[in-house]
Amino acid sequence: MPVLKILQYPHPLLKSRSKQVQVIDDRIIRMIQNLLDTLAASPGVALAAPQIGESYRLIACDVSRKTKEPHHGRVILINPTIRQREGKRIFREGCLSVPDYTGNVNRSEKVWVEGLDPQGQRVNLISEGFEALALQHEIDHLDGVLFLDRIASLSTDLFRRRVY
């Protein structure tokens, strides 16, 4: 079971848009296994295929070891999209591909995500809180977007003056 190297910025794949998966063939199945093995060996809770060097729309997520909030356990999604969003929440995020830096990011509190499972069956998930954050972060990776592109504020935001 190969554990692959997690790419770090400035690797160009991390700023590229990944391709749709057209057919779930042996290659994609192997890719899913690599993604899961690499995730299991990492300190993170979710991983997107471009992070292991595969520019395909494929993510894996398992927040069970990091949160007590409700979640769906191990989630593997092919060609995932966010259908609907609700609520706002600021999370302090980090990323395995951007080591040693964290930032406050605006995310939706609740997301409706659609995609395919490894058997090619359509999956619809309603996810909230920490898992919803992880899914949004990973789906961003498929579009070449890093959390750095979504920083909501620096640490002093509590006191930031506003224009009305």
Partner 1 sequence: MNRFVIITAAGPDRPGIIARITQVLYRTGCNIEDTSMTLLRGEFSMILIVRLPQKQSLNEIKRRLKKVQTALGLSLLLKPLSANEARRDQQPLGRSFILSVYGADKPGIVYGVTRLMAAHGINITDMNTRVIGPRNEPVYIMILEMEIPKKVKVQTIKTKLNKLKKAVNVDITLHPAEPAQL
- Active-site residues, by number, are 138
d(CA 60, CA 52) in angstroms, rounded, equals 12
163 interacts with partner 1 by CB under 8 A: yes
Of 31-39, 121-129, 131-139, 150-158, the segment contacting partner 1 by CB under 8 A is 150-158
103 interacts with partner 1 by CB under 8 A: yes
Length of the chain: 164
Cβ proximity to partner 1, 36 vs 98, nearer residue:
98
86 interacts with partner 1 by CB under 8 A: no
Of 29-37, 97-105, 114-122, 125-133, the segment contacting partner 1 by CB under 8 A is 97-105
- Taking the complex as a whole, the smallest distance from the CB of residue 7 to partner 1 amounts, in Å, to 12
> Residue 77: beta bridge partners?
59
Judge contact between 49 and 58, C-beta under 8 A. Answer: yes
Classified as helix, coil or strand, 1 is coil
Task: Pick one of 92, 101, 120, 126: the residue that binds partner 1 (CB under 8 A).
Answer: 101
d(CA 138, CA 75) in angstroms, rounded, equals 12
22 interacts with partner 1 by CB under 8 A: no
Going by C-alpha positions, the residue among 53, 63, 62 that lies closest to residue 18 is 53
Compute the CA torsion angle 31, 36, 145, 68 (nearest 10 deg): 160
Task: Pick one of 19, 66, 89, 110: the residue that binds partner 1 (CB under 8 A).
Answer: 89
